[in-house]
Amino acid sequence: MALRLLKVPTLATAVFASSGFYLYNRRLDFNDLSLIRFGRAAATTAVISYDYLTAFKYVEYGTEEYWAVKSKLSELFAFFDETPQGAASLAQVHKAVLYDGRTVAVKVQHPKVQQQSSKDILVMEMLVRGVHWLFPDFAFMWLVEEAKKNMPLELNFLNEGHNSEIVSNKLAHLTFLKVPLIHWDLSTKRVLTMEFADGGQVNDREYMKAHGINVNEISENLGKMYSEMIFIHGFVHCDPHPGNVLVRKCQKSKKTEIILLDHGLYQVLQPDFRVNYCRLWQALIQQDMPGVERYSRKLGAGDLYPLFACVLTARSWTAVNSGISSVPVTLSEDVEIRTNAALYLPQINDLLNRVPRQMLLLLKTNDLLRGIETTLQTRASSSSFINMSRCCIRALARHKRSKIESRRRRLQITLTECFNLCRLSMYELFLWLKGSLLGLRVSNLLAFLH
């Protein structure tokens, strides 16, 4: 440990010296994107400079170039708001109006992001190698590998547009889901123009209360949407943070809608991985511990399967053994999980290096969804497990049918699927009656008779 601590000043000196050399060997412009992103990578800060939040940061007001840009915008849009609706590290979004009166959102990639992304990854790789040098037990090179694979996809906005259309088609039967339409004639690799859709963030309870939106309905529909993505289609939106998931009451139908934005990063699950993941969740919900071990091992967890089950569900091993669908989350359990996360960090690191790379983005997605449920106070609700079970039943039946040619056997699988879904619906009805006023009256009557 003493030897590792002696390495810390050396690494820090190298980082700051490299940053000093980087700044010394270029003209200092604090509005430059590369400086902002280098600082963010080196200091792990998400701050974006105020100047960077303007639409024409690199075009001086009143110059010939400025009026050329304004002229081009005037050709395409009847109105273009130069102040962005929102901004992130890769792009910013502007509100605009087409000449036919339709309101659109224009997502514009920041200048120099394409060139700067490779430098970002280089800095990330340097820092990861530095951490590994200090603490050999920790190997986080998979972070760099994932960034190298995913960054080009996120920087191509045409890929984002295609992803949005794919998920919209796959989930077209979910009437509560709204995916903004893409205007392909006004889109390129660096500019994406789409239908404008506004609403409150999915974790904004005050917004929902003010607009008469049922929090439990939102949580249930969000779980239903992601269960379909993961278990049925294997095509998963991997960035469901609150800024990318909005909610609103539709003015025409007065129904609650979930608006899904930012389709740059999707995970396409391999069939065998998806089926094993599906069976693992079934085992977790049904308290089938031999199944939990079997399918955790198939997904690469090995003898760390208890830790894997805890990481996947964000529940303690005691809760997993007792049944995550029947044991409520408690404050003491949350404290236990946070404490153990620090104690078992080397084992968690080992686990993350064992499981397939597809699992990493799913774990991230699970954490984001769990954070939303925690804010909405709907975590570990019975409806979420019922929706997951329903999707698992459908997915496994579809998988079995795809492997069999016999019509009789396929019919048997379909009938078994219908029976299991019907049984699940009856259980859901029982839970609803139990929690309803009628159920309470019947319970009180039975208690009185006894």
Residues belonging to the active site = 239
DSSP 8-class letter at 244: G
Helical (H) or strand (E) element with 430: helix 407-435
Measured between alpha carbons, how far is residue 196 from residues 177, 189, 393 in Å? Answer: 15, 19, 36
Q: Read off the tokens for 352.
A: 């993350």
- With beta carbons less than 8 A apart as the criterion, state whether 322 and 287 touch: yes
The count of C-alpha atoms lying within 13 angstroms of the C-alpha of 280, restricted to the half-sphere facing its C-beta, is 25
C-alpha 175: how far from chain center: 21
- With beta carbons less than 8 A apart as the criterion, state whether 352 and 304 touch: no
Name the residue type at position 35: L
Whole-number Å distance between alpha carbons of 382 and 102: 41
Name the residue type at position 365: T
Name the residue type at position 118: S
**Nearest 5°: phi and psi at 361?**
-70, -30
Whole-number Å distance between alpha carbons of 165 and 222: 19
Whole-number Å distance between alpha carbons of 274 and 392: 10
Contacts of 343 (CB under 8 A, 6+ apart): none
Q: Read off the tokens for 147.
A: 């960034």
Rounded to 5°, the CA angle 388-394-399 comes to 120
Tell the residue number behind the tokens 């308290």, with chain if given. 287
Q: How many helices (H) and strands (E) does the chain have?
A: 18, 11
Query: Is the Cα dihedral 157, 159, 165, 169 positive or negative?
Result: negative
Helix, strand and coil in the chain, % to nearest 5:
65, 10, 30
Contacts of 273 (CB under 8 A, 6+ apart): 299, 356, 358, 359
b/e map 59-96, b = 16+ CB within 10 Å = beeeeeeeeeeeeebeeebeebeeebeebebbbbbbbb
Q: Helices (DSSP H) in 77-112: which residue ranges?
A: none
